[in-house]
Structure 1
């Protein structure tokens, strides 16, 4: 999952490289979870007994996003600049990968859901909103489900910022969502989008609301910004509660809570809330995750001591990785790890497409080769993924970010600044430098 890019040249940004290290670890967990279905299957049989690697990876991504994204918004003090930078950061590569998968599917080289072929307009609009997972529209490629929750988080954070409740409000929201998640689980799946016809109608309405809301935010006028941000936040809450995909009826609300835990940890790190408050928020959300995960297992008749332990270990890996990263944040992060974190968004979107394209070859090798002989194949695959991801980062992501900065400056020059002072009282001076470095 994307966050603000790492710039390796300054001491201030070196202090943030630990976050790129965490993103690197997260994306490696996700890649392992998917690749081990065709290679290293013996290792998967062992590790899967004790760890949900994919869950640990994406939750770690969510935690890092929650830590960084609100800080970026507060650094700008401008919802318009925030949205321009976010969309230009996310959309170019996301749309490029979606278009590639559609082309490969049309050529018969990759599987493509028949529903997407039956109603391409709805599919296109839903994916452009980045909310297809909550709109009842099949995903072009499975990994983009996480970006739907990222977008919902941005919508909620923007609404809190617009009404000046982004500090205490984010902490309260994390607890409220966690309690609501336990109290309402399992949510009724696809309540708003139970049929393809309903999905089409809701998709078009949501797309229109997003255009209107973002347009209002772009004006920079206080009343319009607040109204637009609240409208966007309302869409996010409605879809999270009434549009949840069946795969996340137990933990859909908790995913947003996890991101808000990251926000609480950032605030505690910079003296805006007390550490015990952040600790309470983290404990509540962690407990809610365990309760709902175990309840989901029990509902499927799969609850055993080992399966419950697996979720506990997964939670420990997520929390432990973040804690280790934070404790070592004053040490220099290995440059290769920071660089991998820098291109982690590309790796995340590219790796699964490559697995699907190469599945016949990889699966065949996985069946024929002994386990030690699979290592060179895995290394070759990883080299290919990293090489392609470096190219997509360099020639798709970076130009998109530059365009976003130019567009934000143009809007400010044309319509005036919508930035408002953000109180940073109590934030140590080095932390202020960190906040400026986040978006470099």
Structure 2
């Protein structure tokens, strides 16, 4: 990466967009998880129906954030250990806690639902490599399977693909690879080209890396030009998303579903907000949602799936538009406090544990290096 270590502090725009992405996924799942889908007002149905694309925004920002923080890992002298330990400490605690809850619940049935192979693949967090178990036991965790595989690749990208032109070349190559993977992979590895596969999602992650390199350059623009540039990029991103969601733009021919195009428009919005923040989108509330966004994403399916009875009563008593928003409000009223609790008691302790483990690792390394120097110096006197 072309960044320097001082770029590592959190950017509120990233937090805010993470929060909005998590909320957008919830908006979609409240509609799509029940069977049949809940009826929503026609005017917003296309936008609600595209809420799953919030995952693409998560992937773009994930890669951007990894580029932002890589110099911090590099500065430790143990970049790979620092990077992988930090990622594991960030992802594993909540994921494994919810996985354990799901496994215990499923195995306590009269006929257990899970075989040992599926359970072990999920506990490895590398289930994205397994065709039968690619989607994960925890609802929505297919994204974690993809993320973990991208983490394996990221240090190579950070070291070998530095600079904008190399990143653009990598982006083009990843598109070609994804296109081939969706149709040309041998059967045993064809799942890697499916929607939940690493090769299918790799261009979205690489796009996040390209956007980081672009941001490094655009932030050097004259201060008087940055607000207009940022506003223009934000409007282009929002306008493009609206046009895509409402069928005013054709999907790109190679893909057919607009997933990559949505990723690009989300990326334009991200760049725009980084250059000229907007307090309607970036504020204390959206940043709070961003702080707990990982919990929001993983916790909400547990709660929404247990509210179907309440949803049915709302739709029996109220018009569909009112009923949908009542379902959404109830889901958020339960999900937000529950997510704050899991963030407070599971995520944060896991992050602190990762910091302590790495500090201990560095200290052992320092002591190991000091011993030969002490031996070479010999006894004093």
TM-score normalized with structure 2 length: 0.73
Equivalents in 1 of 2:42, 2:148: separation in Å? 34
1:2-401 mapped onto 2 (5 Å cutoff): 16-37=11-32, 38=34, 41-43=38-40, 47-49=44-46, 52-77=49-74, 78-108=79-109, 114=113, 117=114, 119-120=115-116, 122-138=117-133, 139-161=136-158, 164-167=160-163, 169-188=166-185, 191-192=188-189, 242-244=190-192, 246-248=194-196, 252-271=198-217, 290-294=252-256, 314=262, 318-329=266-277, 333-371=282-320, 372-401=322-351
Closer/same/farther in 2, CA of residues 248 and 402 from structure 1, 3 Å limit: closer
Equivalents in 1 of 2:83, 2:267: separation in Å? 28
Q: Residues 246-287 of structure 1: CA distance to partner in whole angstroms, max 9, x if unpaired?
A: 4457xx524221111111111222249999xxx9xx9xxx99
Pairwise CA distance, 1:171: 3.8
Equivalents in 1 of 2:29, 2:11: separation in Å? 28
Closer/same/farther in 2, CA of residues 26 and 178 from structure 1, 3 Å limit: same
Closer/same/farther in 2, CA of residues 272 and 328 from structure 1, 3 Å limit: closer
Pairwise CA distance, 1:33: 1.1
Pairwise CA distance, 1:137: 3.5
Pairwise CA distance, 1:132: 1.3
Pairwise CA distance, 1:186: 1.9
> Does the CA contact (< 8 Å) of 1:170 and 1:260 recur in 2?
yes
Equivalents in 1 of 2:267, 2:160: separation in Å? 29
Closer/same/farther in 2, CA of residues 126 and 149 from structure 1, 3 Å limit: same
Pairwise CA distance, 1:107: 4.3
Equivalents in 2 of 1:348, 1:260: separation in Å? 22
Equivalent pairs counted in the alignment come to 325
Equivalents in 1 of 2:106, 2:268: separation in Å? 40
Equivalents in 1 of 2:112, 2:265: separation in Å? 34
Pairwise CA distance, 1:357: 2.6
> Does the CA contact (< 8 Å) of 2:15 and 2:291 recur in 1?
yes
Which structure is larger by alpha-carbon Rg, 1 or 2? Answer: 2
What are structure 1's unaligned runs of at least 5 residues?
Answer: 1-11, 193-241, 298-309, 418-440
Pairwise CA distance, 1:378: 2.6
Closer/same/farther in 2, CA of residues 176 and 312 from structure 1, 3 Å limit: closer
What are structure 2's unaligned runs of at least 5 residues?
Answer: 1-7, 222-232, 238-243, 368-381
Pairwise CA distance, 1:364: 4.5
When the two chains are superposed, the root-mean-square deviation of aligned CA atoms in Å is 3.7
Q: Does 1:403 align with 2:353?
A: yes
Closer/same/farther in 2, CA of residues 151 and 274 from structure 1, 3 Å limit: farther
Closer/same/farther in 2, CA of residues 125 and 44 from structure 1, 3 Å limit: farther
Pairwise CA distance, 1:45: 5.7
Closer/same/farther in 2, CA of residues 331 and 54 from structure 1, 3 Å limit: closer
Pairwise CA distance, 1:135: 0.8
Equivalents in 2 of 1:44, 1:133: separation in Å? 36
